[in-house]
């Protein structure tokens, strides 16, 4: 089958990747649409030492699996867990000690014609949610995870640092919970800030921002050392900093503001899919306009190049139409 494969430090398009076969507790999905995320860009730089087919934001149709799922349009949670380790037993199965993560660790992902995932990971996509919206289920669930970990109240002054793919979802989630006037998106791109402003959320250009430790809650969605440094400097004493991006800074970050201001930093990763699907179906979170480029799978290398461009929001791969 067609696939993008990362091996020996190189991403390549191939026509001859073996089609995966589902085990008894797995389903075979024909991928229809997949999104490229910052983690994918890190993976092709060597993150997680991953080799194989990347891609974990996708929607497709079940070709083989239990009768109730066959033919259904589905998405899939990315953590494939053992159900047996201390983490699984303590209700933290996303942190399973033996987990594989679709397209990220130990398991082929979605930048291919077919993908196999555990049955338990699959969630059916309702009619109201198009493919172009469904690929945002995974990053939106990650954005919503913040609210599972941190109590955010209307009185809190909240700033989301980074106006990229993730920041534009996070700020919608937080503005939906806090008072909209207290939630600000901080970024470098006027066109992306405009996206937020159309939804009634204040966007501020970095150059116009007063960098002082006065914000109750700061979410870093930049995935850069500079962005994280800015975030550290914005949190008020005893405030909270949520770190969303898995990245290796390219330079040292001065962490002393975290100690001096006794900041609580909370690492935040994946979230549950059902809430995300509901929020998209109810249009509480809007994704129209977030897809800025679309490529066929055979042009996947170009798609990755495009996704590195800071002008882009979400670049997608059309795999089966």
- Residues near a second copy, by CB under 8 A: 47, 87, 92, 95, 149, 225, 228, 237-238, 243-256, 258-269
Contact between 78 and 102 under an 8 Å Cβ cutoff? The reply is: yes
Shortest CB 296 distance to a second copy, Å? 32
Nearer to a second copy, 151 or 321 (CB): 151
Task: For residue 131, report the phi and psi dihedrals to the nearest 5 degrees.
Answer: -55, -40
Nearer to a second copy, 127 or 254 (CB): 254
Q: How many residues does the chain have?
A: 321
Shortest CB 221 distance to a second copy, Å? 11
Shortest CB 232 distance to a second copy, Å? 10
Mutual angle of helices 165-177 and 137-149, in 10-degree steps: 50
Nearer to a second copy, 15 or 210 (CB): 210
Report how far residue 37's alpha carbon sits from residue 34's, in angstroms, rounded to the nearest whole number.
10
Report how far residue 59's alpha carbon sits from residue 73's, in angstroms, rounded to the nearest whole number.
7
Shortest CB 41 distance to a second copy, Å? 14
Contact between 209 and 193 under an 8 Å Cβ cutoff? The reply is: no
| Region for 248 from its dihedrals, namely left if φ exceeds 0, alpha if ψ lies in -120 to 50, beta otherwise | beta
Task: For residue 32, report the phi and psi dihedrals to the nearest 5 degrees.
Answer: -105, -45
Shortest CB 228 distance to a second copy, Å? 8
Contact between 315 and 309 under an 8 Å Cβ cutoff? The reply is: no
Nearer to a second copy, 203 or 239 (CB): 239
Nearer to a second copy, 65 or 257 (CB): 257
Nearer to a second copy, 225 or 301 (CB): 225
Name the strand (E) or helix (H) holding 60: strand 57-64
Residue closest to 117 by CA, chosen among 162, 193, 59 = 59
Nearer to a second copy, 43 or 116 (CB): 43
Shortest CB 149 distance to a second copy, Å? 7
Residue closest to 59 by CA, chosen among 23, 3, 116, 110 = 110
Shortest CB 238 distance to a second copy, Å? 6
């Amino acid at each position: 089958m067609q696939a993008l494969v990362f091996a020996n430090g190189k991403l390549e398009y191939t026509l001859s990747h073996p089609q995966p076969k589902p085990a008894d507790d797995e389903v075979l999905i024909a991928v229809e649409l997949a999104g490229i995320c910052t983690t994918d860009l890190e993976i092709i730089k060597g993150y997680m030492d991953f080799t194989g087919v990347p891609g974990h934001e996708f929607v497709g149709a079940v070709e083989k699996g239990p009768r109730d799922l066959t033919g259904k349009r589905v998405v899939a949670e990315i953590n494939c867990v053992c159900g047996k380790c201390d983490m699984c037993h303590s209700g933290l199965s996303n942190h399973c000690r033996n987990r594989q993560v679709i397209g990220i660790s130990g398991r082929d992902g979605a930048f291919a014609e077919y993908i196999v995932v555990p049955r338990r990971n699959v969630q059916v996509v309702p009619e109201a949610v198009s493919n172009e919206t469904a690929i945002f289920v995974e990053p939106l669930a990650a954005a919503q995870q913040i609210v599972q970990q941190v109590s955010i109240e209307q009185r809190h002054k909240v700033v989301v640092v980074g106006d990229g793919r993730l920041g534009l979802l996070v700020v919608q989630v937080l503005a939906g919970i806090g008072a909209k006037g207290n939630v600000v998106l901080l970024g470098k791109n006027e066109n992306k800030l405009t996206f937020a402003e159309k939804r009634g959320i204040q966007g501020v250009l970095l150059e116009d921002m007063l960098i002082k430790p006065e914000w109750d809650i700061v979410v870093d969605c930049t995935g850069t050392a500079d962005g994280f440094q800015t975030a550290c400097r914005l949190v008020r004493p005893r405030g909270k900093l949520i770190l969303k991006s898995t990245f290796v800074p390219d330079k040292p970050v001065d962490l002393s503001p975290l100690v001096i201001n006794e900041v609580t930093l909370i690492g935040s990763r994946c979230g549950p899919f059902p809430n995300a699907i509901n929020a998209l179906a109810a249009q509480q979170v809007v994704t129209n306009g977030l897809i800025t480029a679309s490529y066929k799978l055979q042009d996947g290398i170009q798609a990755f190049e495009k996704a590195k461009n800071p002008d882009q929001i979400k670049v997608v791969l059309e795999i089966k139409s």
